[in-house]
Structure 1
């Protein structure tokens, strides 16, 4: 049987695919841009057109599939947007769904991840939720624009700390869960990096690896929201979710460090210094 990967071209999805292939699994990469998926993965995977908003794409995507990596696309801010596909997983007797959730979401009802987890559990679908800390790729990706152009980190996290984790480490964790589906049936895993850092620490590390003087700007929520919607042109629903996440971060929800990644994989998670050094081109 096959493993379906939603969001296969994303930061985490492509690593899930890579690690599953290394474990000998047959992988189906799903997305709305099949040509992009073919360019990324070539002949190593089956590629299928899939759209959460189009129920007609579900049947083909789930053909001969018994395990699923489920990722909420950033533009779908409502948990209900994923419910029809989760219903389809139930009707296809999927033996494990690994949902990319969020650290601390079991106690935090604000992000959509909370309701999605609960809906999967309510339907009785075997699950293995993965609850990572903040992605290192958030810094090298969406927030890298201000770092490159203005030498500043523009994130409304105050003085809070986050236990950043590399998306590659998340991908390996998810692949482990899906590959050993019976072992990890009906479990949840909070995975983090090895250290908890504030954005002053991040600025110091980035200054070290780039040779530039990078500062942490520490904007307020309203300033951040206005800038990302009006200046950066990002979707309002997406920005609202990030505001909620950074609000919770200020409450201390993102600082916890766990050993779960090591217990799952037998490896130590990559540090932010290692990540920044290997991805320095994202910041200069």
Structure 2
């Protein structure tokens, strides 16, 4: 899981750990692993310096937390490219903690989410998108609009 020590990521890691699901957290520095529950494995890497291909091939699912800044979309797309280059096809679970924008009643993904979604789509990797319940009602009612724009 990328973003495993952030506000949303850490809560998700804790929930998965409590459910006895094996989790490996990606942390930027060894010291950040101290924030994780003791039974959670970790790997030291970043979006722009991902784990080696042999490590990436170990995972059936990769949870990607949404970038908090538009500029991070490029880094996340590079990480996705590393997954593809590794020759492994894990399911990518894309989490958008901030949902999407809804200006003027027109539902649309934030630009960074849209860029990443389009990039993921081009890779052919299996993808699941998650967003908080707060946004789910709008997301479900706008499915056709979102598909047209992505």
TM-score where L is the length of structure 1: 0.41
- 2:45 aligned with 1:50, yes or no? yes
Shift of 1:49: 0.5
- Shift in alpha-carbon separation, 1:24–1:109, aligned structure 2, 3 A: closer
- Report runs of 4+ in structure 1 exceeding 6 Å deviation: none
Deviations 1:61-106 (A, max 9, x none): 5252110110244356152222221123233210x21112243469
- Shift in alpha-carbon separation, 1:127–1:257, aligned structure 2, 3 A: closer
- 2:20 aligned with 1:30, yes or no? no
Shift of 1:58: 4.1
Alignment check: 8 A CA contact 1:50 1:61 kept: no
Shift of 1:34: 2.0
Q: Following superposition of structure 1 onto structure 2, how do residues 196-215 of structure 1 map, counting pairs within 5 Å? A: none
Deviations 1:164-216 (A, max 9, x none): xxxxxxxxxxxxxxxxxxxxxxxxxxx21xxxxxxxxxxxxxxxxxxxxxxxx
> What stretches of structure 1 of length at least 5 have no aligned partner?
133-190, 193-255, 261-284
Alignment root-mean-square deviation, CA: 2.8
User: Which residue does 2:14 correspond to in 1?
Assistant: 18
User: Which residue does 1:112 correspond to in 2?
Assistant: 112
SS in 1 for 2:126: coil
SS in 1 for 2:131: strand
Q: Distance in 2 between matches of 1:257 and 1:30?
A: 27
Q: Distance in 2 between matches of 1:49 and 1:257?
A: 33
Alignment check: 8 A CA contact 2:62 2:93 kept: yes
Specify which of 65, 71, 78 is matched with residue 77 of structure 1. 71
- Shift in alpha-carbon separation, 1:32–1:76, aligned structure 2, 3 A: farther
The structure with more radius of gyration: 1
SS in 2 for 1:21: helix
**Corresponding residue pairs, total:** 132
TM-score where L is the length of structure 2: 0.72
